[in-house]
Amino acid sequence: RKEVEQDPGPFNVPEGATVAFNCTYSNSASQSFFWYRQDCRKEPKLLMSVYSSGNEDGRFTAQLNRASQYISLLIRDSKLSDSATYLCVVTSNTGNQFYFGTGTSLTVIP
Amino acid sequence: EPEVTQTPSHQVTQMGQEVILRCVPISNHLYFYWYRQILGQKVEFLVSFYNNEISEKSEIFDDQFSVERPDGSNFTLKIRSTKLEDSAMYFCASSEGLNTEAFFGQGTRLTVV
């Protein structure tokens, strides 16, 4: 069973669109949750941490549902520069390890 | 802004040779990690390191692999006898504590020929 599952996409959306990504995780003991973005052949870069209360950073909103073991990311007013792969990341129950999803590919089209 | 740095950015080696990948984690971070990503696949955990010892390792991290913190700043990954299937991007990461955000270096692309 995969620790983190994501829809790989690809998502192709026009500029200005709103797009949502979802992710599920299997370990109910996981304590921390993140979204990272990864550009082609580059390192994962932290986009935001995810909390049960939900958090927003500009055009990005992340939400965690612990009961359903489900994490979401909403991007509003998509920009061309948002084109990347978005990685859902969950810590192990020891906190010593990060489990990565396979990533969801987003292309924003002019 | 503090960052994790890795050297070299690209390493080509012959099968069976030893390689050492180097990393300088963010200076006030206490937890260090190595991950790898085979082209087109997901990021996979190799090992975590805290207080000068391995705290967790994956099944990928077999006897061919070792890690070391030889001084106060460097963190290295050694692959003793490289195989073709070791070709991947290797990322070093560090975090302040458990369950906190990890910051990744730009990676070392290892190609085994």
Contact A44 B101 (CB under 8 A): no
Residue A54: predicted pLDDT: 85
Using a CB-CB cut-off of 8 Å, the residues of chain A touching B26 are none
Using a CB-CB cut-off of 8 Å, the residues of chain A touching B99 are 31-32, 91, 95
Contact A96 B102 (CB under 8 A): no
Nearest to B56 among A43, A87, A94 (CB): A94
pLDDT tens for residues A4-29? 999 988 999 999 999 999 999 999 99
For residues B77 and B67, is the Cβ–Cβ distance under 8 A?
A: yes
Residue A40: predicted pLDDT: 93
pLDDT tens for residues B28-57? 999 999 999 999 999 999 999 999 999 999
How far apart, in whole angstroms, are the C-alpha atoms of residue B19 and residue B58? 20
Contact B42 A102 (CB under 8 A): yes
Q: How far is CA A73 from the centre of its chain?
A: 5
Check the CA dihedral A109-A102-B41-A98 and report its sign: positive
**B109: β partners:** B10, B89
Q: Find all residues with CB under 8 Å of B1, minimum gap 6, and list them.
A: none
Q: Which residue in chain A has the smallest CA separation from B31?
A: A96
